[in-house]
């Protein structure tokens, strides 16, 4: 607000004037330092680091201590409950926290500033809110120096101007901010409770879909559709035809022509699903393995690093499908030149993708667009359905915790970096309804999930607004717009004049003339 007209009763003062104690933290290191790593102890007087100020943990895991004797040597760097701590470095600097009342006195370390409020002029609570305000953050950034990392010196920090209301108005401002922030926190807590409920609802919808509940009325009205038995037989026939076609193409590419039909014996029929421990299905449905419904289940190989490029074909990584859909906001590219790897792992529309290693294991996506040229990494499995119209249905099964996802999660091996192998995917059981019912099921479930997505997007917008609300409240408060001014309040200028006069009186006078020395 520097240069602007101040609200009635307000006055400008430097941060130094608002503090009765304002100092740097001690330094750590071998050169010119007053604390060495060798001084650390497992117990004693705690040390406060920049990370404690940013996170406001003040005694979380990893806290360091110094012995009582060393703490006495460093007493000028001590911090007590009620002191304000500010970070000198960061992106940006100026994070602020109030040292809590439940913590014992501590020693502040490098890149921290300690500020003890002058209670004749202000309060810790008012200063804490002011130091966190957008106006203050901008002022700190303006006084910061550095390229790789910004840093504000104590000297520059001391001179930053603060607009000070009357003391009574400060208290009204703090009360109003605290009340509004409490409402904001309650709103955020209410918003935070919704996503888990929304996810439970989504999973309930998916579970109901694969129990046949979503299409129960449809089945009753359409009793004469082709049953799953006949659908699976058609898929098996088409699967074999494609294998034979692919085998002949590969042989002819080598200049070979089979002389008889013995090569057909090389085809392996997928293993049937053992359904004894699987849930009962609606009439007309059957269990089948994912392998029996696809012409290909594969994944990318290692060594893709040498193909990375600034542009070219799209390269699908596990992070591109971690929201159960294919999102190419931060797409990677590869440049292949006629390799067999490119032929084997090139995506087609209606392929289904599954993450098979890492934290996102079992995340799945349906390729719902024509990608000119795209390939998958070693962390992503690619499955190509015999009947493309079953892709959405299969994807829904794969994201169902009571269904495919739950099965695959139980199969995932490895603690730190869980993974799935391709056989886990090939043998995955899938409940197969009649084709027309599968389309109806996918349409109904997708519509409900889309509405859930709209709600989730609205929630994210509300969360962003809630996060920015705190800054808006503080900005309004320190423009003098949050509470009304009271003309009966003693103006801040009167307080400042008394404090300045007192400091001038208490300031030590310099001695004049030559100092006497003993002979």
Residue 69 pLDDT:
87
Which residues in 361-390 are b (16+ Cβ under 10 Å) and which e? Answer: bbbbbbbeeebeebbbbbbbbbbbbbbeeb
Give the whole-angstrom CA distance, residue 28 versus residue 23.
16
| pLDDT greater than 50 at residue 223 | yes
| pLDDT per residue as tens digits for the range 153-190 | 999 999 999 999 999 999 999 999 999 999 999 999 99
For residues 190 and 329, the model is more confident at: 190
Q: Any idea what DSSP says for residue 279?
A: P
Q: Does residue 375 contact residue 345 with C-beta atoms inside 8 Å?
A: yes
| pLDDT per residue as tens digits for the range 66-91 | 888 888 888 888 888 999 999 998 87
pLDDT band at 4 (very low <50, low <70, confident <90, very high): low
| pLDDT per residue as tens digits for the range 411-437 | 998 766 789 999 999 999 999 999 999
Pick from 74, 162, 51: which is nearest to 117 by CA?
A: 162
**What's the 3-state SS for 40-101?**
EECCCEEEECHHHHHHCCCCCCCCCEECHHHHHHCHHHEECCCCEEEECEECCCCCEEECCC
Class of domain 227-433 as given by CATH: alpha beta
Q: Do domains 11-166+485-506 and 227-433 have the same CATH topology?
A: yes
* % of the chain beyond a pLDDT of 90: 63
**Residue 21 backbone phi and psi in degrees, to 5:** -150, 125
Distant-in-sequence, close-in-space partners of 301: CB < 8 Å, separation ≥ 6:
341, 345, 378
Mean pLDDT of 198-213: 97
Residue 478 pLDDT:
93
Residue 61 pLDDT:
52
Give the whole-angstrom CA distance, residue 326 versus residue 444.
21
For residues 513 and 394, the model is more confident at: 394
pLDDT band at 519 (very low <50, low <70, confident <90, very high): very low
Q: Does residue 281 contact residue 341 with C-beta atoms inside 8 Å?
A: no
pLDDT band at 146 (very low <50, low <70, confident <90, very high): confident
Q: Which fold has domain 11-166+485-506?
A: Adenine-n6-DNA-methyltransferase TaqI; Chain A, domain 2 (3.90.220)
- Would you say how long the chain is, in residues? 519
| pLDDT per residue as tens digits for the range 446-480 | 999 999 999 999 999 998 888 889 999 999 999 99
Whole-number average pLDDT of the chain: 89
Please report, for the chain, the start and end positions of each structural domain, with discontinuous segments joined by +. Answer: 11-166+485-506, 227-433
**Environment class of 8 (CB within 10 Å of its CB; exposed 0-12, middle 13-18, buried 19+):** middle
**pTM score:** 0.76
Give the whole-angstrom CA distance, residue 422 versus residue 345.
14
| pLDDT per residue as tens digits for the range 232-287 | 999 999 999 999 999 999 899 889 998 899 999 999 999 999 998 999 999 999 99
Helices (H), 412-491: 422-426, 435-477
Q: Any idea what DSSP says for residue 166?
A: -
Please name the residue that has the structure tokens 């859930």.
452
Q: Distances in Å between the alpha carbon of 476 and those of 129, 142, 168, 179, 271? A: 12, 21, 18, 14, 69
């Amino acid at each position: 607000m520097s240069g602007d007209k101040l609200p009635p009763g307000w006055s400008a003062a430097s941060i130094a004037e608002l503090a009765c104690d304002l100092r740097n933290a001690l330094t750590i290191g071998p050169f010119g330092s007053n604390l060495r790593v060798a001084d650390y102890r497992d117990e004693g007087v705690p040390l406060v680091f920049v990370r404690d100020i940013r996170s406001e943990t003040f005694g979380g895991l990893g806290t360091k201590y110094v012995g009582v004797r060393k703490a006495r040597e460093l007493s000028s760097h001590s911090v007590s409950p009620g002191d304000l701590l500010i970070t000198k470095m960061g992106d940006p600097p100026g994070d602020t926290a109030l040292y809590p009342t439940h913590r014992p006195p501590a020693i502040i370390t490098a890149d921290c500033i300690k500020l003890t409020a002058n209670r004749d002029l202000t309060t810790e609570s008012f200063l804490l809110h002011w130091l966190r305000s957008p106006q203050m953050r901008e002022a700190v950034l303006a006084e910061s120096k550095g390229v790789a990392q910004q840093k504000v010196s104590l000297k520059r920090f001391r001179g930053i101007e603060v607009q000070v209301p009357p003391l009574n108005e400060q208290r009204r401002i703090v009360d109003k901010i605290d009340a509004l922030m409490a409402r904001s926190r309650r709103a955020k807590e209410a918003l935070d409770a919704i996503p888990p409920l929304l996810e439970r609802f989504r999973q309930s919808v998916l579970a109901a879909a694969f129990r046949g509940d979503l299409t129960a009325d449809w089945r009753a009205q359409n009793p004469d559709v082709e049953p799953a038995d006949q659908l699976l037989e058609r898929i098996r026939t088409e699967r074999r035809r494609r294998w034979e076609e692919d085998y002949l193409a590969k042989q002819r590419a080598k200049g070979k022509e089979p002389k008889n039909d013995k090569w057909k014996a090389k085809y392996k029929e997928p293993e049937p699903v053992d359904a004894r421990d699987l849930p009962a299905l609606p009439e007309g449905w059957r269990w089948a393995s994912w392998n029996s419904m696809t012409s290909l289940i594969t994944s990318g190989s290692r060594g893709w690093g040498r193909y990375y490029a600034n542009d070219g074909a799209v390269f699908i990584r596990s992070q591109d499908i971690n929201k159960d859909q294919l999102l190419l906001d931060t797409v990677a590219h590869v440049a292949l030149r006629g390799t067999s790897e490119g032929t084997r792992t090139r995506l087609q529309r209606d392929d289904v993708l599954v993450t098979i290693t890492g934290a996102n294991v079992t995340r799945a996506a349906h390729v719902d667009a024509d990608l000119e040229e795209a390939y998958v990494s070693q962390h992503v499995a690619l499955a190509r359905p015999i009947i493309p119209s079953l892709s959405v249905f299969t994807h829904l099964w794969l994201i169902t915790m009571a269904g495919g996802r739950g099965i695959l999660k139980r199969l995932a091996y490895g603690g730190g970096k869980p993974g799935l192998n391709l056989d886990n995917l090939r043998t995955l059981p899938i409940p197969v309804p009649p084709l027309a019912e599968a389309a109806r099921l996918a349409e109904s479930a997708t519509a409900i999930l889309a509405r859930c997505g709209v709600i989730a997007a609205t929630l994210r917008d509300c969360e962003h607004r809630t996060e920015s609300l705190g800054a808006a409240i503080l900005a309004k408060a320190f423009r003098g717009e949050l509470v009304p001014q009271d003309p009966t309040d003693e103006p801040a200028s009167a307080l400042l004049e008394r404090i300045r006069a007192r400091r001038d009186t208490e300031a030590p006078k310099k001695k004049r003339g030559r100092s006497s020395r003993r002979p």
